[in-house]
Amino acid sequence: MPFNAKCGFTVEAWAADAVTMRGPFLDENTNGAGTMHGGFISSLIDSVATAVVIAGAERGDRRNPVTTSLTVHYLGAASSAVLATATCSRRGKAMCFVDIAVTDETGRPIATAMVSTLLR
């Protein structure tokens, strides 16, 4: 996806039940305090949520996941690359509900999130 490439997001693990993506720590991704910008982390969360919905889709399902709700709880500041791991807590016919945990490279919690996705 062009947006993911522009942000530098990379897939670290891909399975039907969980996807992990990495967000790099670069100067252009920081805030005024010199830590990773919350909007960058939120974008990574949205991207990994979409990825796990696609990863777990039934073969031949060509519907596009569209984020309908995204809630983030920031737990700490990141001063290194971050890893976001997404799992589907519920997968319905038209909606998927995704839980995301974001950590820094040492495993320290940075954020948790919940994303609702409509399949259309």
pTM (2 decimals)?
Answer: 0.96
pLDDT, position 62:
81
User: Strand ranges (DSSP E) for 8-91?
Assistant: 10-14, 19-23, 65-74, 82-91
Q: In the chain, what percentage of residues exceed pLDDT 70?
A: 100
> Which tokens hold the place of 26?
């670069």
Fold observed for domain 2-119: Thiol Ester Dehydrase; Chain A (3.10.129)
Average the pLDDT over 79-96 and give the result.
96
